[in-house]
Amino acid sequence: MISSLELPRDLMLGAAILTVTGNQEVLIANYKGILEYEDSFIRVQTKNCRILISGDHLAIDYYTNEEMKITGTITDILYEN
């Protein structure tokens, strides 16, 4: 049905959208909440999974109800069920 309506899958399914710029920045859209926040990792809940961002000197530069920006030296992005 989603493909027949020609609507974006992320919009219809509420999927998280990650935009990664090098290893210094991640924008996460469509998230539900911040579960854990440390200097070396940030765990975020989305509708369908949890996302673990690991690295060094990680910081959440800003967050709104729709998106957040994480900066630092990013080494791993892991999707958890």
How far are the Cα atoms of 21, 42, 56 from residue 30, in angstroms, in the given order? 18, 16, 24
CATH fold of the domain at 2-80: Immunoglobulin-like (2.60.40)
Domain ranges of the chain: 2-80
Report how far apart the first and last C-alpha atoms of the chain are (Å, whole number): 25
pLDDT digits (tens, 9 = 90+) for 4-30: 556 556 556 678 999 999 999 999 999
Rounded to two decimals, what is the model's pTM? 0.84
What is the DSSP track for 10-56?
Answer: HHHHT--EEEEETTTEEEEESEEEEEEE-SSEEEEEESS-EEEEEEE
39 or 1, which is more confident?
39
pLDDT digits (tens, 9 = 90+) for 18-68: 999 999 999 999 999 999 999 999 999 999 999 999 999 999 999 999 999
Place of tokens 């996460």: 28
Confidence of residue 80 (pLDDT cuts 50, 70, 90): very high
